[in-house]
Structure 1
């Protein structure tokens, strides 16, 4: 490859002529500097022209890369630029050619060829001391070659790259790192970590010097899909709208199709099925201009999900057959397994429950073997919902238990991965601080030769810089923890105890159609003197107490009872319909089960004592069966139990006068509850052995 002739060489002739004509008229002593100056100027002109040519080509290559264009015209322009480039071209130009090559030829190049091209660019960057491009290629290689069933290995490799980075790393490197973390955590089902990294990647994408809009569009679309997986459709729709606003009329076809699919799935979760059908139909129309079979399979999967949500299993099976044929033709095991999950759900809707469950289980086993945990979670969620809709609560509970076990497993993996990631981040900061400290020490030693006072000043500056760096690190860690806690609010399970979260109660318990007989039990429990346990034995002991309480409650109540962590040391237990005597007996047994045995913590016994408020839902015949109202009554009863000396369960029962007078009302606090009791509108009764002990103490007094 060679450049075409330029006019730079011809520009030397007038300068040489000028020098020849000027020299004879100059004094040798006074003007002898002019000739060297003219000669230097004549030599610099070709280099200036070459630099201008390089800058022009680099700008064109960056525009080509930033557009993401893979058309034949883009390939032709890339080849033309390569033909203009000499073999000894500057490193920046050669680097931009290789980076543009990776983008423009992305769809036409195979996997092995892409890895080879990335390795060539890495080697070129390494020879030229370009650490940023070396790190960028390592990150892209790790993500491109990762497999979900060995995700920890590849996350460890990302951590190794992260340990090499410094605060001076380019936005390209940081965006690629956060994006790769986010996508890999997403595939592994670690939604909190995935969302944290995807949001960080979105921030870095705004700082990219090339391709910022394109990168932000992909991040916004991925975040929308992530919120759909987290069952937060409103947030998903918000990010879809942001992407459409950013792309406007110039939004690329593939982005537009993906965003319309994300919108359809979010609307489907919100039960806005006609609107979801409209969005998906628009995506299907646009896909007629997209020859990608992968796009067709994604759209086919989304259409099947919508048909199943519309309770159209026969139409869904027709679409499933088409998806299965496409997957087999492409030898795509992932979408083949997807078709099994969806066919199983359709068969269950057609009352072929066992056949459908077996097919879904086959797909779930495949996804789990491949480490594709997001698909396992999605399949279990679909299995639970379908079994409930078919009136099979026992089978639904089995699927929920497997789902809960998987959530606990994923949380433990996520915690370990986050710790490893933080260690890599800390190693990078320590290395950077160590290099800075050594450089500063060297400067201080040199300065000490000139003045002792300057040496002391430099030492003081270094100390201040170290303090600022430490303060910044503490701030960053605290901010990360706040973000993690904020995201944990959306988790469906309490990660410490394994009980359902309050969010899960709002999503599941409130919207479920519960039976309205008067024997459904609502019990609010609070651990007595929990703060004292924390203060005396430490927070780890407090955590152990919380987990032990949940374990003991589960060991006593019926299998279909539900326990939620309501806040701090408060827990809500919803006992499903039984006879009145059975429910109240279970409450007494539950308290005994909690308090009988102390918790052994190291060499100390910690005794568990609880207070609680218990009501039946509804409180009286003919009253509306509102769980929200029942919980407010139980909460007031809980505070009454606290006020009466703790270690007791206060049960509220309405009198005949109260049934008529208090209809539609709930107590503001236990003071109002006591007032209604004095007015003979209700009665309270203490349950549990603690109440008997307190009563005996009062009698002796």
Structure 2
């Protein structure tokens, strides 16, 4: 519940937050890029060194100090000039002027190239990486980060090499390549330890390493890195660095289920930031304080912190913090029953992410918005938010699917080209051998037989190698295909496989004539679709940690395997959602299967770190195909209708299943009207629903004869 701008949890600002933190940590390291040896520093270098800490925490004051040095810079050494421009870029970015920051980063790169100084060029490239991150141009930032690291490692600048390695590690983490990220950040820590005259490099490396371990949910290792970070930070007596370390402690504490420690770390950080006058950091910390109070359902205090965060972010023109503050304020107002005010503030926060075209964060925000409206009793508003989230989810999935297909196709084409090159090379070798054979035949006839024999052996060996290479490629393609169809956590089929299967079913069956026949004649044997969602799954993650959430998802997957048949297709639909497609069951047994799913899952409890976690699910279901007006719906629309039934189940109390059994008086309405608002269509008598109620947690599955929790409802004109 709530929005935060620091820490490493699965809140809806996670991706934006990671980029912001990556840039912040790297900028902290970037500010250390003065000559490694103190004895080589000029008085001007020392003054820039003093300003660099100001640049990180109070960029407005640092910029004033830097501009005072400008008259002296023209006569300074090249690396001093480059450092000056780097700090100008850092302060401008800290003040939200990414355009000017990018301009100065480009100047550093051009200046370094004119001097043929790789250290200056690499420094400029890294500075540009951070600005690209701030502009959300992630792909370009990732590519440039790796180029900058390669160039930096060719120089003798120790601080620069540490900074580049940290940035490469954070880039791998952004790409979810945690093994490579861990290797890089451990290397950065090892490189930074000897640099005793540059403690900032070690602090930046330890900070990044602790956050990565938290992100990987290795909390013991994250805590060890944090302890060293706090100890090293205490040595330099920098309030700003200590505030950064406390924010890292907050991220670890909130993710590992230590809310009291998280609250304490935030309050300590806030005190340090206010003493420094670091107003942008203050705004972010206030956002996090609002978030943690939302988790504890202290809505008045959350609203107070959110209001303070909003005032701070407006003063500093920090648009991301402003959006987060408004969203948290909206949730707090909704929690207090002030629905109109809450919706106004939350919508204002959402507008910012729509402006940024930040679709993943917007999707998660809409999901939380719907849940908050549901808790506040605004079911129509919750349904609207849910539909917006679902449309965005489908769009993102299709984008991801297309990208994955293109990547797989590119990989296959690359391997195919490589194989063709190898074959051509081998053909050239054979042709060369044949030419040599002709020459030898003219000169020494008695060696002809031997040469042909050798040539035959070479061709045979090459042919065998080609066959072996093709076989290996086939095996790898099969492995890749298998991996692309399964969810790695639950080993269930993934959403892409289900979609491909249904498209293939359409093609193979000629648009499903047999299913159409079933729909027209209402056969006793039908297919069925079940879509289920874990109730209050976010609370499980927030309370017990993500490892507990993963255990819950695996438990549900196992229960579905037990409750359903081997011939049924079970799919990890996304997040905490699962889908099951049953190709052939008795029509009268559809409700019974929904009941079996509900009670089978609620009867289980997960034992996790001395806690028993009980789980319920909500289910939407329908026979398949659905045929309003005797025209079968495409499978996509059938799944969408089941999805709407699932949301009705959640909106009407959870731990239950809503099933679409059929349609009545369809000539008086249309499918578009029904899809726009399923509940209204139900109340108007156009949709025939059945409701299956789940039992309390721990209730053993009932026998097939116990159907008292199944209710058939054709319409609900007088309420439900």
Q: TM (normalized to structure 2)? A: 0.48
CA radius of gyration, larger in: 1
Larger RCO (CA within 8 A; separation ≥ 6): 2
